[in-house]
Amino acid sequence: MTCLQLFDLDLIDKIISPEDFHKISLDSPATDIFTDFKEHKALVIEGDTDAADTLKLMLKAHVKMKIVVSKTNDFLGIVSTNELSEQRIVAEVAKGSSRTEILVKDMMIPRYMLHALDYKDLENAKVNDVVSTLKNYGLRHCLVVDRSNHHIRGVISSSDIARKLHLHIDIITKTSFKDIFEVIHA
């Protein structure tokens, strides 16, 4: 058995990422820019978790979106830092909720309001097709489903695409009825 040599890290200050080695363009296969849950564990949060604490943890971990699940790991929806923003939490407090009573499931986008791409369509698409779809629907995140197996296969993030392409992707989010309702009843 050989004992390997250890080195000091005083001159090391960078951490590499896959983007450093795999160049992506708008003509690359769309499967190159999605987070495949067959290869990467999904970032999930239980719906009964405190919303304000979740926002702090997400910001600290540089995570913009999580999949919301029940205690039994059933899919409930998604939540992003947008839904958990301080402004939205304050709006909930103004409606009479205590700050500590506001849970992720109260702020999430429930699954019945979500749409997803089919993995089979993604296999035949280019990155440009995905960017166009995200812009057209005003989505910063989009789930990818394997309809034949009835499960969520992965997620696409506009910020991940922008980072991999080294360019800004301007997504103008569409105002939902939920947003309008919240403004009127705040």
**pLDDT tens-digit series, residues 68-112:** 999 999 999 999 999 999 999 999 888 888 888 999 999 999 999
83: Cα separation from own chain's centroid: 12
Residue 171: predicted pLDDT: 65
Render 76-114 in DSSP notation, one character per residue.
Answer: EEEEETTTT-HHHHHHHHHTT--GGG-BHHHHSEEGGG-
Residue 144: predicted pLDDT: 95
**pLDDT tens-digit series, residues 97-151:** 888 899 999 999 999 999 899 999 999 999 999 999 998 888 889 999 999 998 9
Q: How confident is the model at residue 19 (pLDDT cuts 50, 70, 90)?
A: low
Residue 175: predicted pLDDT: 52
Strands (E), the chain: 35-36, 44-46, 65-69, 75-80, 109-110, 116-118, 141-146, 151-157
Give the mean pLDDT of 6-16. 81
Domain ranges of the chain: 28-184
| Paired tokens of 50 | 């405190």
Give the mean pLDDT of 6-23. 76
Report CA Rg, the chain. Answer: 19
Chain-wide mean pLDDT for the chain? 87
Q: In the beta sheet, which residues pair with residue 143?
A: 116, 155
- Which numeric CATH code is attached to 28-184? 3.10.580.10
| Paired tokens of 27 | 């003509």
pTM: 0.79
